[in-house]
Structure 1
Amino acid sequence: MNKINADRLIVEYQQKIFGFAMSKMRDVDNAEELASNIVLEVYKSFLKSDNIANIEGYVYRIASNVYARFIDRKMANQHIDIMKIEYPVSESGFDCIESGETYRKLRREIGMLSNRQRAITYMKYYKDMSVMEIAKELNISVGTVKWHLSDIRSGLKEKIDMVKNGNLSVNPVYFVSMGHSGSPGKSGDTKDMFDSRLKQNIAWSCYYQARTVTEIAKELEVPIAYIEGELRKLVEWGYIDQIDNSKNPKYLTNMYITDVREDFSEELKIKKDVADFLCENLFKDMFDKFDKADDNWGMICPNNDKNYLKYNLIMMTLISLGDDWENWEEFAVKRPDGGHFIAYANVTDDCTKKKLDDKYKGCGYMFDQVWRDNRQVLQSIQYNCMYSGRSIDWRNNNPDDWEDLYSYISNGCEKDKISVNSFSNLSAKGYVADGKNQITLINVKDGNLVGTINNFVKTHMQIPEFVLEEGKRTDERFYKANRHKYPKHLEKLVRYNNSNSFTWGENIPFIVERMLEVRMLKPLTDKQKKAVFTVVAINGEE
């Protein structure tokens, strides 16, 4: 744009810009400072741009972005919760300031409500749910809902017209759990990256359809200035893909997000069917053979407790039923900090009760190893669930634990031959108790430790072919039950995540639950729970 036209437009919009600034600030000094910043940015932008289709929307967008940066500086980089950001980005222009102020007032009032009242507000005014439906969804009485609505109406003053809007702007989601399949980097994994609700909502907003940064900002009703930096980081670390190179590119989330607000009753039924099938058609025969084995198939534990070893045998059996690591490579993302994994998260919102049964949750197979003189001397495998006495978090599986355990075992299990800190750590974890190693060991001489663990069951008995065939049929059941719950662009990843279902660690609590019901297993002691579902293959003698 030439300077003459730029000067003309600046004069034309000066008063509107100052009016915008006054509507946002509580005093003239701050309004004047904000207005001067906006004028400068608009003028510079005019000189660089040609053929602006909507001048008013263009100026208003710049004004909104400058305002967002202005507030950010005033807040001295304090954390800003998504529910507390008051001013939406709009392309509609300055004529909507009045209605915007009305909506700002409403959002400010909503933000001051309790979580329960905010949920009731959303359900009543945005989803048009009845009092009875709200009571059922939140598991509270009808009378309680009515009481809250009365209190809410008094606070919000219903003369303010409630305007329908996108779900995320009023009822933002949050990740109820996060994880990974693969190796976390130096900075951690999904949970460490998505450390704010704003990041979580950005990822969710462009999960089912590609969106520009402007569209994301509109969906969340958060100024673009707050979105851009977070989005850039999520793209850099491989959680969101930029799908084109235009001036205003679109973005699409590539991580595997499960909406726990969906109905997962069919998946739960299938997992229980898997437990029943494997108990009857695989483990019954396996346990019978194992009971007759004097050497416990080479597995060593305190007192050679066969019941305790059977718990670990369940984990080893599932691992032996298949290996799909090669296909994993197709979907795993390499992160800037050295991490290499598929990112997972479960999503819900304040208005919905979680529908996944947390009692079955687990932390999938965790492998670790110890090396000495360029030779692998220890390989570990561990799974955490409700039947293990450990935190269900991969961080609980610390590489230092296995270094300490190797030192302890290789020194004849004598605590005086390792450091006090190492022995204290092993004792605190429960891996050593009463002066004895509690971890299940497999001694390997001149062998492949990883191969020993992955193929442990196959070396002692043949897996029936009909069991493997049933596994393939079960994969299809899982896929058909779940494929509609995920976006189209993740179809191949959905297929991958619903394959090799008999090998899943998440089957373990279902199988154990069933075995305890039919008395194929006896309950573990508290001491055994600390070390169960942990097997170590080690080079050399015990």
Structure 2
Amino acid sequence: MDKQRADEIITKYFTKIYGFSLKKAFSYAEAEEICASIVEELYASLLKARDINNIDGYIWRISEYTYSKYVSSVKKHQGISIDEIFLPFEDAYDLEDDREVLFRLRREIAFLTKTRREIVYSYYYENKSVAAISKQLDIPIGTVKWHLNQARHELKEGFTMERKIGRLGMKPIKAINIDHSGAPGLNGGPEFYLNDSLNLNIVYSVYYTSRTKEEIAEELGVTPVFIEDKICLLESNGFLVRKAGGKHTTFVGFAPPLYSLEKYESKLKKQLEIAKLLAKDYADSVRQAISDVGEAYIPSGNRELLEAAAIFYGVANKCVLDVKRDLSPYYIKTTDGGNYIVNVEMERTQADKDYVPTLQPTVMWACGNMVRCSGKYPVYSWSIDSRYSSRKGGWENNLVSDYEYLYEFMTGTIADDLANEDKFRRLRERQFISESNEVNIMVVQGAAEEFFNRIPNLNEGFKKQFADYAFEYAQAVVRDYPPQMRDLVFSWTAGGFISKEVALMVMDVLYANGTFQPLTEREKITSNLILFTDILPPDAKKDSI
């Protein structure tokens, strides 16, 4: 057979060969060794072969043959004895009746500590002497003997106990959404780590109850060796926190599995009451505060867009109740530079199924505050995406480079030509400029801090009207959370009782009562999005205010 055809066969069947090796091996390292031997033998055989009618059978035969050679040359002991428990070693052909015993032995070895597991494997399966293992691991001979003795006791104990598979081993959780508050790292937000189902369930396994590595493994129905690396990754990136006794906990937030619709609607009704009051007095004070901001560009020339953005910002950021809690433990610092609080949304079950809802379902989602600052140009953007905006992709699609490209366009640094094709494609994809090169987002000439400082704080008298309800509601909510999460939940529930949800309600009131006119499709592009910089767009004269 020619070399190219042999290469194609090896590539096609490599996964199956590796799977075969895994079934025969007691570790990933051994599986790789067996797999390499099979591939080497198979490749040499294929080059010598002429016609192969049954390629599947041929490969299987070569694999079994190679493994048999491996067994005879490497695994010289056909059985092992551990404290009077005689367990024959599995070879390629027999021991069908003892597979359950072998499985249990493998399982119990996997539950040993990493060092002990390595010593047992080296001594019993690789036939290494105590002295050789001592040299290999750079530990005293007496320590090796001690580990072997302890392993015998632990394996014997493991054989007499019934290991239980936890709930997550039977029904793992699934994330509907993974949110963060803070700065993502080079790899993105927490979904980089938690989109992996096993990682997510490892973290959740220590949410309500602190657990050791072995206890996590039992809860998930796997062996410790299978999750060691993942636990190390999650711990080194802050998703797991080590406690005394080798146990782990987490400060990642998960909502309780049950919720009360009646309690939720009660909160919404109180927030709607607040929103109606804010739409009267507070909204007017915000509009007045920014009335003399003149150096601004609004695509449609409709000043209501700027006023609505300022009101949304004010309600979401300057109406919070004063709650003093230390939230520093909840910020997860990752090795790729991330620094954020994490909340995982899962499917939840309504506890009060007999309750008849009294409010129409409304989407209360909002993504932000999103701030993007450039180190290259004097560019600062603020935005909150919601049902009032048409922007797609959330925070992941909101790039600093988008605003840098727009700045280059506004300053005339780049032209709409082949050299800048990618930049203009991106600007049009985000609809920041039109096909005719008109800027589609609001631009304020000046510093963002100066603009936002104009927006007044909500007076303390108004806050006190609702503080008692907010604190009482928060106290009821935190009871459903584990102790380590309660400061965060109380702070966000009580302190943020007037926040983005209420800001959306205020917008609903202002657009419904005619204070603001309905948004056009072009205006939805820039709704609650403002770019602060040192210049205005070239066409600012005809549309600026």
Please tell me the root mean square deviation across aligned C-alpha atoms, in Å. 4.4
In structure 2, what is the Cα distance between the partners aligned to 1:20 and 1:183?
Answer: 55
Q: Counterpart in 1 of 2:384?
A: 383
Structure 2 counterpart of 1:480: 475
**Cα pair distance change 1:412/1:528, threshold 3 Å:** farther
In the alignment, which residue of structure 2 is the partner of 1:400? 401
**Cα distance change on mapping 1:429 and 1:492 into 2, 3 Å:** same
**Corresponding position of 2:340:** 341
Partner of 1:64: none
Structure-1 residue corresponding to 2:437: 435
Find the aligned partners of 1:21 and 1:38 in 2 and give their Cα distance.
Answer: 26
Q: 1:329 to 1:297 in 2, by over 3 A?
A: farther
Quote the sequence identity (%).
Answer: 18
Unaligned runs of 5+ in 1: 1-6, 62-90, 101-163
1:277: how far off? Answer: 1.4
Partner of 1:498: 493
- 1:59 partner amino acid: L
Amino acid paired to 1:266? K
Give 1:143's aligned residue: none
Secondary structure of the 1:186 match is coil
Which of 484, 493, 496 is matched with 1:489 structurally? 484
| Aligned CA distance change for structure 1 residues 294 and 341 (closer, same or farther; 3 Å) | closer
Distance 2:220 2:196 in 1: 14
Q: What is the SS of the residue equivalent to 2:228?
A: helix
Match of 2:274 in 1: 277
- 1:231-281 C-alpha deviation (Å, 9 max, x unpaired): 11111100110102x4xx111112122235433653454245324313323
State yes or no: 1:309 paired with 2:393. no
Which residue of structure 2 lines up, in the alignment, with residue 40 of structure 1? Answer: 124
2: CA distance, partners of 1:22 / 1:420: 67
Shift in alpha-carbon separation, 1:380–1:471, aligned structure 2, 3 A? farther
Distance 1:512 1:286, change over 3 A: closer
Q: Provide the rounded CA distance (Å) in 2 between the counterparts of 1:283 and 1:412.
A: 45
Deviations 1:151-178, CA, capped at 9 Å, x for gaps: xxxxxxxxxxxxx974322221112111
Q: Retained in 2: the 8 A contact 1:474–1:501?
A: no
CA drift of 1:452 comes to 2.4
Superposed CA offset, 1:175-196 (max 9, x none): 2111211111112221111122
Q: Partner letter of residue 213 of structure 1? A: K
Residues 294, 483 of structure 1: CA spacing in aligned structure 2 closer, same or farther, 3 A cutoff? closer
User: Which SS does the other structure have where 1:435 is aligned?
Assistant: coil
Report the counterpart of residue 155 of structure 2 in structure 1.
59
Could you give the per-residue CA deviations for residues 494-518 of structure 1, whole angstroms, max 9, x where no partner exists? 2332243156334333333344444
Q: Distance in 2 between matches of 1:409 and 1:283?
A: 38
Q: Tell me the equivalent position of 2:521.
A: 526
Q: Do the aligned partners of 2:286 and 2:310 also contact (CA within 8 Å) in 1? A: no
Gaps (5+ residues) in structure 2? 1-78, 111-119, 131-142, 538-545
1-structure distance, mates of 2:455, 2:175: 37
Could you tell me whether the CA contact under 8 Å between 1:169 and 1:219 is conserved in 2?
Answer: yes
Instruction: Give the length in aligned residue pairs.
Output: 419
Distance 1:351 1:239 in 2: 28
CA contact (8 A) 2:325 2:487 kept: no
What amino acid maps onto 2:493 in structure 1?
A: N
SS at match of 2:344: strand
| Residue 229 of structure 1: how far off its partner (Å) | 1.5
1:395/1:407 Cα in 2 relative to 1: closer, same or farther (>3 Å)? same
Q: Letter of the 1:369 partner, please give it.
A: C
User: Aligned partners of 1:251 and 1:51: how far apart in 2?
Assistant: 28
Match for residue 49 of structure 1?
A: 147
Q: What TM-score comes out, normalization by structure 1 length?
A: 0.65
Q: Is the 8 A contact 1:176 1:347 kept in 2?
A: yes
Contact 2:252 2:342 in 1 (8 A): yes
| Bigger Rg over Cα | 2
Give the conservation status (yes or no) of the 8 Å contact 1:316–1:456.
no
Cα contact 2:441–2:525 (8 A) shared by 1: no
Which residues in structure 2 correspond to 1:196-207 (within 5 Å)? 196-207=196-207
Residue 330 (structure 2) pairs with residue 232 (structure 1): no
Residue in 1 that maps onto 2:86 = 14
CA contact (8 A) 2:184 2:340 kept: yes
Establish whether residue 424 from structure 1 lines up as the match of residue 520 from structure 2: no
Q: Aligned partners of 2:101, 2:286: CA distance in 1, in Å?
A: 78
Q: Report the CA distance between 1:366 and its aligned residue.
A: 0.8
Alpha-carbon spacing, 1:345–1:277, altered in 2? closer, same or farther (3 Å): same
Check conservation: 1:17, 1:38, Cα contact below 8 A. no
Give the residue type in structure 2 aligned to 1:362: A
Q: How does 1:191-270 map to 2 (within 5 A)?
A: 191-244=191-244, 246=245, 249-259=246-256, 261-263=258-260, 265-270=262-267
- Tell me the SS of whatever aligns to 2:300: helix
Question: Which structure 2 residues correspond to residues 148-187 of structure 1 after superposition, within 5 A?
Answer: 166-187=166-187
Do the aligned partners of residues 418 and 532 (structure 1) sit closer, same or farther apart at CA in structure 2, a change above 3 Å counting? farther
The one-letter code sitting in structure 2 at the alignment partner of 1:435 is N
Q: How big is each residue's C-alpha offset from its partner over 1:278-316, in whole Å with a ceiling of 9 and x where there is no partner? A: 332355553487389875665531232134334312322
Find out whether 1:465 has 2:460 as its counterpart.
Answer: yes
Q: 2:99 aligns with which of 1, 23, 26?
A: 23
Amino acid in the other structure paired with 2:253: Y
Give the aligned residue type for 2:453: N
CA contact (8 A) 1:431 1:439 kept: yes
Aligned-partner residue type, residue 406 of structure 2: L
Change (3 A) 1:430 1:479: same
Name the residue aligned to 2:368: 364
Does the 8 A contact of 2:275 with 2:503 survive in 1? Answer: no
Separation (CA, whole Å) in 2 of partners of 1:525 and 1:391: 17
3-state SS of paired residue (1:176): strand
SS, match of residue 419 in structure 1: helix
**Structure 1 residue 466: Cα displacement:** 2.3
| CA-CA distance at 1:536 after TM superposition | 1.7
